[in-house]
Amino acid sequence: MESLIGLNCSTIECTSLSPTAPIWQDVLAQAITGELLAAMNYTSLSEICDDPEEIADALEHAAIERGHAARFATEGRKIGVDVSNNVDAKHWKRLREAFLRCVTERDFIGCLIVQEIMLESFAVASYARVGKVAPGSLGKTFASIAAEEEEHVDHAMAILRAERALDAQRFDDKVYRLHLDVMTTLATMLAKECKDGHCEVCAGNCVKPSLREVSLSAAELRGASLQQYLKTLDMLGIPGEVTLVWVTQLPV
């Protein structure tokens, strides 16, 4: 994180960079990658929808996520860094593959669970926390997008609650199956250490050890994200004593 290798900026811009700019570059890179992956997911979702209104809704969500990515990229340029992204990075690729398995099965509800309950829980919580400590417009953008992502969750909640009302046990079993697949990857991403090597998104070394320099930590982001996830599962009606056990099984 001490090096500015990989930053595409002019010599003048580089000399005026804040010491924390490379940290925010990596935070933004993860956020942009997540937003672009979400856009891909919503586009794929539209392909299995039969109802024209559902197709339009999915495509609208895809456009919103691309807009979020563009806003994050703009914030990067404001602090003098050119933020990269990598939707094929190993963790993000696994998340995409989990979503595509639901698409292949034409499992509309499974797609909503993965994107709206799991991925968005992490986005809402982590963006909100970053929004509290990031400087200036960067913090405001993270906070604003966190609020917009929460609206996505609210939108899907009515559909998912209605589905659970039809057969609670079957629904809960599906959530648990997806939990083992998706949440294991998300928890690994925010583990204290990257035990399986570089994430393939950070520009240099892993950003996690440097997060304390901007009043963040992987443990804090992980805790907030899992708390948001449990809250969302509770809103669905899945018993807390069940979901708490699920979370304790995740890698640390």
pLDDT for 3: 32
Residue 5 is assigned to a structural domain of this protein: no
Least confident of 13-22, 24-33, 228-237, 243-252: 13-22
pLDDT for 10: 33
Domain that holds residue 147: 11-248
Residue 33 is assigned to a structural domain of this protein: yes
Residue 145 is assigned to a structural domain of this protein: yes
pLDDT for 7: 34
Split into its structural domains, the chain has a count of 1
> Whole-prediction pTM value?
0.90
Residue 1 is assigned to a structural domain of this protein: no
CATH number at residue 139: 1.20.1260.10
Does 184 score more than 90 pLDDT?
yes
pLDDT for 192: 79
pLDDT for 152: 73
Question: What's the pLDDT tens digit per position in 60-70?
Answer: 999 999 999 99
Quick one: pLDDT band at residue 11, thresholds 50, 70, 90? Answer: very low
1-34 exposure pattern, b = at least 16 Cβ within 10 A, e = fewer: beebeebebeeebeeebeebbbbbbbbbbbbbbb
The predicted model gives 160-188 an average pLDDT of 96
- Rounded distance between C-alpha atoms, residue 35 and residue 75, angstroms: 14
